[in-house]
Structure 1
Amino acid sequence: MTDQPTNQPYDGYDGYDPYGQQGYQQGQQGYPQAHQGYDDPYAAQQYTQQWQGQTWETQTQSPVSAQVTAAEETAYLPPQGYGAPPEAAPVSSPAADYGPATVAGNPRVTDAQRARAEGRSPVIEPGMQPAALTALLGLLLAGAAAVGTYALLVPLVVLQAVTAAGWFRLNGMWPARQGIALGFAGALAADAALLASDRSPSAILGTLGVWVLLALVLQLRSHADPDERMYGLMATVAASALAIVAGGYLAAEADAVTVGAIAVAVAVLARALPLPTPVSVVVALLAGAGGGVAAGSLTGLGTSGALLGAGAAACALIGHRVASYDYPSRFVHFTAGVSLPLSAAAPVVYVLGRALV
């Protein structure tokens, strides 16, 4: 190692230092002797060190700028195997192009989406078992109405409780204990007001208004997000309204309750038969009318029971359709699927019963 002026060529590179770092080589070999004997620290800059012969710096190491550029170009690429060409590396895509991560590595597809993709209907109807429970509850209502008002109160309370719980579960809000309890409490209050007012329908309307106000107060005290509070308010009001309106069986004439409940039971069973949907609806309506005629012959309605039975069956089919959902749980079918056909038919049973009896 010798000290030479800086204007001498650097191993054939015409004075170009590929690293731009003269002190780097000095630091690798210790402080050079050229620094000794100089009082002026800047005087040592007139000389530089030069290795005799070729070294690894001049043969194998690429310039630092080229290394930085290569690092920047490959910083976000996944590790590649040895010998793989750079252009074969996959190009990364934004995370919004894929669904949530799954064990299988594919975007999650719900059962409803798969059914639509395959051309099938995503709506699943309750089926025969919930229909059988609906028919059983309808027969209990019909028989209890023939016995007396307080006997009717027992299956009616069961219907109102299942209605409140089923509506919240149908809307995906479970557990929602406060809303379910509020809806069921409104139904009990309406029943008590009906009994106290000699089954006046104004008791149902008054209770419904008070319970809407209570639902508003309950949601205003909630600390949830505004959208969630609004959704909870609508579910609470709807559940309370359905459970309270089911009290119309208590306000209706006993014969009308018997005819209407039997018509709903027959119509729901017919609707659950494995038939095409249009055919099944027509068969259910005809079965409801026929059930109304049969029940009317046992009561004072006679052939007028056909009209009442058809009206109750139509409302029951609406409630049945509401209980059908995109691949719901069994709990939905065994709560909302059981109760909504009977609860939806209560207003028609009251109105037509008053008009026909």
Structure 2
Amino acid sequence: MSDQPYEGRYEGPYEGYDPYPQPQQQQRQGHGQPQQHQPPQQQPEWPQHTQQWEGQTWETQVQPSMPAADTTYLPPQGYQAYPEPQTYGTVGQPLPQEAPAPTPEWTPAYQPPVQQAHGTGTGGVVTPDSASGYGPPTVTGNARVTDAQRARAEGRSPIIEPGLQPAVLTAVLGLLLSGTAAIGQYALVVPLVLLQAVTAAGWFRLNGMWPARQGIALAFLGAVTADVALLAAGRENAPAAILGTLGVWVLLTLVLQLRSHADPDTRMYGLMATVASAALAIIATGHLAAEPDAVTVGAAAVAVAILARALPLPTAASVVVALLAAAGAGIAVGGMTDLGSKGAFLGLGAGVCALIGHRVASYDYPSRFVHFTAGVALPLAAAAPAVYLLGRALG
């Protein structure tokens, strides 16, 4: 054996470029004895990036030191510069500086228009936020927002009048009251009970409480109780029968609402709606307590006034025409009774109360069901106190 370096022909790869070098003890068999040539074994072609962090480097040139921020990510040679998108965001693995920031998956589902919403109530004026780039929130498409709130936010009036068809039904019911009052007190009970039932149902629906069968039944039962008490006590004791029934029903409604398991706001809202519905239905008993001639004149005046109010005229002109029609009906029907020309005052008073009830039934963007219940009944129910008081004063 000789200490001279191996000078024979070497066909294998130069060991300085061997990516998988053998250990030193296997490279030489002894001091001064070169390793016998072995043909290179076929090694599996592993991806180079798996050796980037684990294998030794055979670079002989000194690499300049790089800042920690620049050496955080070194992409492997011969492969794409960036890893797969799904690897971004892994805990402990920073993003490459060259890679774009991942786009957030969430995007705003609703971008309201920039126009300002004018109105009152919940749809007030809102100034757009210039920093965020979003306009003011709107209420369009929100299931929890009422039609009246949407109308205010869009600058429209939340008042929709019942129209001609409910006015015709009011006129028919008013003429029934007027005609049966001339027949007798017990005949008047039939259209009166119908009026009270429609009043109770329409008030709950006008307040957005539907279905409210228990509240409607309670209010209607109070009205029937007032009718029975008045028939039993007589017209001379009508105030005591009506007010006594109303007081008892307010107390009963309060007790029932206290037993409810709903939240306090819901209980208070239900209490007020039930008390108001019962009060309106019981007050309608005033037609039964009034003098027959007063009911005949007053109910006919309401029928004519509501028909005139439904004419396609401007609001102010329509109100004036309705009041003049009520006074004229009072004079015409009063001439067939003992009231005579005094019926004009009674007709005018009943017409004013009827228009108030008509206005209440038109408030807050009501539905078609409200128009055919509250829109029909409230004008006649609201006119009952005027018919009773004016009938006693003028008779």
TM-score range, shorter chain: 0.7 to 0.9
Alpha-carbon separation, structure 1, partners of 2:136 and 2:154: 23
Change (3 A) 1:246 1:273: same
* CA deviation after TM superposition for structure 1 residue 328, in Å: 1.9
In the alignment, structure 1 residue 12 sits paired with structure 2 residue 63? yes
Task: State whether residues 164 and 240 of structure 1, in contact with CA within 8 Å, keep that contact through their aligned partners in structure 2.
Answer: yes
In the alignment, structure 1 residue 190 sits paired with structure 2 residue 226? yes
Match of 1:181 among 209, 217, 225: 217
Q: Which residue of 2 aligns with 1:151?
A: 187
State the SS of the aligned residue for 1:56: coil
Q: Which residue of 1 aligns with 2:200?
A: 164
Q: Deviations along 1:145-172, whole A, 9 cap, x unmatched?
A: 0000100000000000000000000001
Q: Which residue of 2 aligns with 1:277?
A: 315
Say which structure is richer in helix: 1
Question: Tell me, which stretches of 5 or more residues in structure 1 are unaligned?
Answer: 22-53, 80-91
In the alignment, structure 1 residue 306 sits paired with structure 2 residue 344? yes
Task: State whether residues 139 and 153 of structure 2, in contact with CA within 8 Å, keep that contact through their aligned partners in structure 1.
Answer: no
Alpha-carbon separation, structure 2, partners of 1:308 and 1:316: 12
Alpha-carbon separation, structure 2, partners of 1:101 and 1:57: 56
* CA deviation after TM superposition for structure 1 residue 11, in Å: 7.1
* CA deviation after TM superposition for structure 1 residue 76, in Å: 2.5
Q: Which residue of 1 aligns with 2:244?
A: 206
Change (3 A) 1:345 1:128: same
Q: TM-score, normalised by structure 2?
A: 0.69
State the SS of the aligned residue for 1:67: coil
* CA deviation after TM superposition for structure 1 residue 15, in Å: 8.4
Alpha-carbon separation, structure 1, partners of 2:319 and 2:260: 42
Q: Which residue of 1 aligns with 2:158?
A: 122
Match of 1:60 among 48, 66, 81: 81
Alpha-carbon separation, structure 1, partners of 2:273 and 2:285: 19
Over the aligned positions, Cα root-mean-square deviation in angstroms equals: 3.7
Change (3 A) 1:68 1:250: farther
Task: State whether residues 98 and 107 of structure 1, in contact with CA within 8 Å, keep that contact through their aligned partners in structure 2.
Answer: no
Q: Which residue of 2 aligns with 1:85?
A: none
Change (3 A) 1:10 1:344: farther
Task: State whether residues 99 and 108 of structure 1, in contact with CA within 8 Å, keep that contact through their aligned partners in structure 2.
Answer: no
Alpha-carbon separation, structure 2, partners of 1:78 and 1:208: 58
Q: Which residue of 2 aligns with 1:318?
A: 356
Q: How many residues align?
A: 310
Q: Which residue of 2 aligns with 1:227?
A: 265
Q: Deviations along 1:27-72, whole A, 9 cap, x unmatched?
A: xxxxxxxxxxxxxxxxxxxxxxxxxxx9539993689865177889
In the alignment, structure 1 residue 290 sits paired with structure 2 residue 328? yes
Q: Which residue of 1 aligns with 2:281?
A: 243
Alpha-carbon separation, structure 2, partners of 1:96 and 1:115: 19
1:341-356 matches, within 5 Å, as 341-356=379-394
Q: TM-score, normalised by structure 1?
A: 0.76
Deviating runs (4+, > 2 A) in structure 1?
1-6, 8-21, 54-66, 68-79, 92-102, 106-122
Task: State whether residues 10 and 16 of structure 1, in contact with CA within 8 Å, keep that contact through their aligned partners in structure 2.
Answer: no
Q: Which residue of 1 aligns with 2:167?
A: 131
Task: State whether residues 140 and 150 of structure 2, in contact with CA within 8 Å, keep that contact through their aligned partners in structure 1.
Answer: no
Q: Over alpha carbons, which structure has the higher Rg?
A: 2
Change (3 A) 1:117 1:212: closer
* CA deviation after TM superposition for structure 1 residue 74, in Å: 3.0
State the SS of the aligned residue for 1:174: coil
Question: Tell me, which stretches of 5 or more residues in structure 2 are unaligned?
Answer: 1-19, 24-54, 108-130
Alpha-carbon separation, structure 2, partners of 1:256 and 1:273: 26
Change (3 A) 1:5 1:110: closer
Matching residue's letter, 2:296: T
* CA deviation after TM superposition for structure 1 residue 12, in Å: 2.5
State the SS of the aligned residue for 1:343: helix
* CA deviation after TM superposition for structure 1 residue 223, in Å: 1.2
* CA deviation after TM superposition for structure 1 residue 9, in Å: 7.5
Change (3 A) 1:11 1:188: farther
Q: Deviations along 1:296-332, whole A, 9 cap, x unmatched?
A: 1000000000000000000000000000034321110
Alpha-carbon separation, structure 2, partners of 1:55 and 1:337: 81
Alpha-carbon separation, structure 2, partners of 1:10 and 1:165: 95
Matching residue's letter, 1:177: R
Q: Which residue of 2 aligns with 1:87?
A: none
Change (3 A) 1:66 1:207: same
Alpha-carbon separation, structure 2, partners of 1:111 and 1:324: 13
Match of 2:366 among 303, 325, 328: 328
